[in-house]
Copies of this chain bind each other. A is one copy, B any other.
Amino acid sequence: MSTITIVGAGMMGSAMSVPARANRHTVRIVGTPLDREIIEHARATGEHLTLKRRLPDEISYYQIEELDSALAGADLLVCGVSSFGLDWFIENIIPKIPESLPVLSVTKGMMNIGEGRLISYPEVFEASTKKKISFNAIGGPCTSYELADRDPTVVTFCGRDISTLRWIKSLFETDFYHISLSTDVRGVECAVALKNAYALGVCLAIGLSYRRQGREFEHYNSQAALFGQSVREMSRLLDLCGGRPDNIMLGAGDLYVTVFGGRTRKIGILLGSGLPFDEAMKKLAGITLESVVIARRTTTAVRELIAAGRAAESDFPLILHVDAIIRCGEPVNIPWRAFETETII
C-alpha cells in the first residue's frame, strides 16, 4: 500500500480519495488556506462540505500549517487545486516537494505565455522550478460528484514517463475508475483545455430554445451543431499545439460531461435565454467563476494565436463569439454562417 497526499480539498481533489481508498492506500487530504472549513467539517463529520457526500473512512485531514507532516513519507502528491490555485501551488507547495515525489494534477487548462504560445499546466509546473519533479495530469471526462458515487468513467493520465504513469495508474485503477495513459501531455491537456468555453457555447442553444419556445422545449439540432463546431475548433487548437489528433476523443467526452455537468451549463443557458453576461454572473452569485476564468484564459491564447498569424479568425468563430459575450457583454447571436465550410478533395 502507498501513501497519497492530496493538496487542495476542493471537490475533485477530495473525490480522488475514493478510488485511492478503494485500493486501500493511505490517504491524506491537505486543505489550502481557502479550505479551512472543509477540513474542519470533514474531521468532525467525515463529510465533504461542498461535495455533499461522506468521504471514505480512514482519511487523515490536515490544515495547510500541517503540510510537512502530510508530505512526510508520501509516495504520490495529488495537486487538487482549481485554476485559481495554480499560482498558490507553484509558490507554496512546489518548493516543498522532493524530487522523489511524483505529482498528479487534477487541474485542467492551458496557460497563454504570450505570442500565441500555449503550454499545459504540467509544463507550467515544470517551468516554475529547477527541481526535476515528475508532473503528471488527468484529462478526460470525470465530474467529482459522480466519481464520489463510483459511477464508471474512463480518464487519461498524462506525463512524460510511461513507467511513472503505469505506477500512478496502479494506485487508482478500480472497476469504476478506468485509466488510459499518454505521454502526449500537450495533446491531452490541449484537447480538454477549452471544454469549459465550448460547453458554455453549446449551452447557449438550450437558452435560445427556451427563449423561443419555453422551457419544455430543449431542442437538440442546434446544440448538436454547436457541439460539432466545438469539436472542429478543438481539433484545430490541438493541431496548432502539436498534439496528436486522436486526443479529440478526450475533448469530445470532456465537452459532453461539461455540457451536462452543472455550473457551465447554467451560465450558458442564462446567456442564451437573453441575460447579459454581468446579470447572468450576478444571478449565479459567482459559482461559475472558475469556468469563466478558464474560458477567458484560453480564449486570450486563441486571440494571440490569431494576432501572431498562426491561426485565422475563421478557424474559431464559436469561441470568439463566446469570448465576445464574456469579455465585452455582447448579446448572443450565433454566427451560424461562419460554421459553414467547403471541402473539396
Contacts and interface: CB of A to CB of B under 8 A. Distances in A.
Nearest to A227: B256
Contact of A180 (B183, B246, B248, B342): B342
14 contacts: A141-B224, A147-B221, A153-B225, A178-B339, A180-B339, A180-B340, A180-B343, A181-B340, A183-B343, A183-B344, A223-B260, A224-B254, A228-B252, A245-B245
Interface string A241-276: 000111011101110110011000000000000000
Interface string A147-179: 101011110000000100000000000010011
Given A152-B222, A221-B257, A246-B343, 6 more contacts: A146-B219, A149-B219, A152-B334, A224-B253, A228-B254, A229-B249
Nearest to A218: B260
Contacts of A180: 339-343
B252 A227 contact: yes
A171 B275 CA distance: 35
Residue of A146, A162, A182 with highest tally of chain B CB at under 10 A: A146
Given A227-B253, A235-B249, A345-B183, A209 B151 contact: yes
Contacts of A222: 146, 151-153
Given A178-B336, A180-B340, A342-B181, A249 B221 contact: no
Interface string A175-211: 1001111111001000000000000000001000100
Nearest to A245: B245
Contact of A231 (B143, B151, B220, B249): B249
B340 A220 contact: no
